Amino acid sequence: MAEPKQIVALPYGRPLGDFALQLVCAASIQESVENSVLTVVWRPDRPFKKHLISMLPNAAEMAVDGLIPADIFDPGHGSAVEVKPPHQMIMLADLVLPPWMLRGRILAALPKIATLNAPELELDMPGDWHVVVHWRESGAPGRPDTFRDTDAELWVQIIEFIRSLGGKVVRMGHEGMTPVDCDLDLAGQPFEHQVEAIRRARFCVMAASGPASLASAMGTPILFCGYPGGCGVFHGHDMVIPLRFWDPAGTYVPRQAVLDKGLLDDVALPDWRASGGRVEAGSFEEICAGIEAMMGRERQTDPGTTVKALEIPFLDAGPTAMRPEFFWLDE
């Protein structure tokens, strides 16, 4: 049998969601190349990265401090790079996947999308079934205040609605989040415990942040509240409520105008809010309608066979009080 093809991936994303997407892209490419092995060269600059890499199917890994220099791809005479791991490994690889190749758009061209498989942990979960919720608050570690920050009061109502349907609620997040009454609060608890809660959840309800991307990358159904657009790893059992903007006069701002104004930029958004503009990641009524729809949805047992990298459209008819503007990703 021929020697396996060597694939080396360089997922250098720092945020949780970006890194999870890059790992899924690398593993999906490796699965589409017959007789190949994957080595992930990564930067140990975030505590969750080691655990995420352990969730990759059929991958070796090598942690390196600092950046790999650009001239690593020049093995010729006079190169400034000392040839040693991981540089030697990269130069001998059959396929190198730099960060700019590990993007969601590439998934649409692949026959199957990999999922991140978390090892089972012995951890008590409340009730017969539970939903994992997550939202981002002002002061999230390592991230500026952005359109992704949402009000904890909204999520208190969402938690109570899920309970009214007979479910238990597990909250994940970082230390210092607003205290809430839920059945199991994992905010600030070990990352591995939060991953286990996602793995065993009936579904997740999350605002736009890294855990939402992680949940879908793991194949757990998710109601994604306030998705800003672009490509990502999604499955047919996932649901999206798009992010929406209103100007200071209370007029709904269509998607194209949002892009033209650069409102998805972390720098522009504070000025927008300071001027009286409003951003909404889904109303309480919409999210409740989405949760009820998720209750009747079958979880895909092998989501990797049908997952698509989708360019998520925005519903520019404008919000209405009576018609929830969400949609399934397989319709």
**CA 250/CA 3 separation, integer angstroms:** 63
Q: What pLDDT sits at residue 315?
A: 39
In a domain, 270, yes or no: no
Same structural domain, 185 and 152 = yes
**CA 73/CA 139 separation, integer angstroms:** 39
Same structural domain, 30 and 60 = yes
Q: What pLDDT sits at residue 304?
A: 58
Q: What pLDDT sits at residue 189?
A: 95
Same structural domain, 166 and 309 = yes
Boundary-marking domain end, from 109, 139, 165: 109
Same structural domain, 105 and 135 = no
Same structural domain, 92 and 134 = no
What the block records as the tokens of 282 is: 């889904």
**CA 69/CA 86 separation, integer angstroms:** 11
Same structural domain, 200 and 230 = yes
Same structural domain, 315 and 167 = yes
In a domain, 180, yes or no: yes
What the block records as the tokens of 18 is: 């970006």
Boundary-marking domain end, from 41, 74, 109: 109
Q: What pLDDT sits at residue 310?
A: 37
Total tally of structural domains belonging to the chain:
2
Domain that holds residue 200: 130-243+281-328
Same structural domain, 82 and 145 = no
In a domain, 204, yes or no: yes
In a domain, 71, yes or no: yes
Q: What pLDDT sits at residue 63?
A: 73
In a domain, 42, yes or no: yes
pLDDT (tens place) for every residue of the chain, 331 residues total: 688 899 989 888 888 988 999 999 999 999 999 999 998 988 888 889 999 999 997 788 777 765 555 555 454 545 444 545 556 666 678 898 988 889 887 887 888 888 899 989 999 999 999 999 999 887 666 666 566 777 899 999 999 999 999 999 999 998 889 999 999 999 999 999 999 999 999 999 999 888 998 998 998 999 988 877 655 666 778 888 877 888 899 888 887 788 788 777 666 777 888 899 888 777 888 889 889 988 987 777 666 554 443 333 333 334 443 333 444 444 4
Same structural domain, 30 and 169 = no
Strand partners of residue 223: 205, 239
Task: Find the CATH number of the domain harbouring 228.
Answer: 3.40.50
**CA 217/CA 113 separation, integer angstroms:** 9
In a domain, 152, yes or no: yes
In a domain, 300, yes or no: yes
Q: Which residues contact 182 (CB under 8 A, 6 or more apart)?
A: 133, 159, 169, 170, 171
Same structural domain, 33 and 96 = yes
In a domain, 18, yes or no: yes
**CA 103/CA 108 separation, integer angstroms:** 10
What the block records as the tokens of 272 is: 């927008």
How does DSSP assign 186-238, residue by residue? -TTS-HHHHHHHHHT-SEEEEESSHHHHHHHHTT--EEEEEE--S--EE-TT-
